[in-house]
Amino acid sequence: MNIDENAKDGPRKVSINMANNEEQKASKEQTEQADGKQESDVAVAPEETLGQDVQAELERLRQELEKVLAEKEELLDKYRRSLADFANYRKRQDRDREIETLRMRMEVLRDLLPILDDFRLALENAPSSAPAVAENDWVAGVQLIERKLTALLQAFGARPIEALGQPFDPKYHEALVQEPSDEYAEGRVSKVIREGYLLEDQVLRPALVQVSSGPRPEEKEA
C-alpha cells in the first residue's frame, strides 16, 4: 500500500516542483525586468536634470549679458555727453578768450588814437608853404611817427570807418555840427573832423563828422 501511494504521489510532486520552478522563473524574469526599468530610469534621470541645469545656466547668462549691455549703453551715453559738454566748454573758453583779447586790443588802441590825432593835427597845421619848415628834420620826424602809428593800427587789425559822403549812421558816426552843403545831400556826412576806426566788427571809435543839412536856402529857392 505504501508503494502504491508513493507511486501515486510521485507524479504529483514532480508536477508541483515544475510549477514552483515556473513560478520562480517568472518571478525572476519580472524582477529582472523591474531592475532593468529602474536602471533605465536611473540612467535617464541625470540627462533630464543636466538639460534643465544647462537651460537655467543659459538663462542666467542671457540675463547677465542683457544687464552688461544695458550698463555699457548707459556708460557710453554718459561718455558721449561728457565729450559734448567738454567740447562746449572748450568753445566757451575759446570764445571768452577771443573776447578778452579783443577787449585788451581795443583798450590799447583807444589809448593810442589820441596820440595819433595830435601828430596828424600838428602836421595839418604846419606851415608847409615855408620851404625851411617843410624841409625841417623835426617835421620829417613827426611825419615818420605818424606813419608808424598808422602802420601799428593796421597791424592790430584796425581800419578806418568810411564816413565822407555816407548817410549819417549814429552807430559809426558822431555828429558834431550840421551845416548846409552844395556838394552833399541832406543827411550825408559832408566833412570828417576826426577819423573813426573799426576793429573786426566792433567800433573802436566813431568818426566825428559834420552832417549836411542840404543846399543853402537861396539854392533851394532857385
**Would you write out the chain's pLDDT as a tens digit for each of its 222 residues?**
444 444 445 555 555 555 566 666 666 666 666 555 555 444 445 566 767 878 888 888 888 888 888 898 889 999 999 999 999 999 999 999 989 988 998 999 999 999 999 999 888 887 665 555 556 778 888 889 999 999 999 998 999 999 999 999 999 999 999 999 989 999 999 999 999 999 988 999 999 999 999 888 775 444
Asked if 188 and 168 touch (Cβ cutoff 8 Å), the reply is: yes
In a domain, 217, yes or no: yes
Dihedral pair phi/psi, residue 31, rounded to 5°: -65, -40
Cα separation, 165 vs 205, in Å, equals 19
In a domain, 182, yes or no: yes
| Alpha carbon of residue 159 to chain centroid | 34
In a domain, 176, yes or no: yes
What pLDDT, on the 0 to 100 scale, is given for residue 17?
57
In a domain, 195, yes or no: yes
Nine-digit cell string for 14: 514532480
Domain limits at 181? 161-222
In a domain, 96, yes or no: no
In a domain, 204, yes or no: yes
Map residue 205 onto helix, strand or coil: strand
What pLDDT, on the 0 to 100 scale, is given for residue 188?
95
Number of domains in the chain: 1
What pLDDT, on the 0 to 100 scale, is given for residue 205?
95
What pLDDT, on the 0 to 100 scale, is given for residue 123?
85
What pLDDT, on the 0 to 100 scale, is given for residue 16?
56
* DSSP letter for each residue of 83-125: HHHHHHHHHHHHHHHHHHHHHHHHHHHHHHHHHHHHHHHHHHT
Q: What is the largest CA-CA distance in the chain?
A: 193
What pLDDT, on the 0 to 100 scale, is given for residue 191?
94
Q: What is the CATH number of the domain that holds 195?
A: 2.30.22.10
Asked if 207 and 219 touch (Cβ cutoff 8 Å), the reply is: no
In a domain, 33, yes or no: no
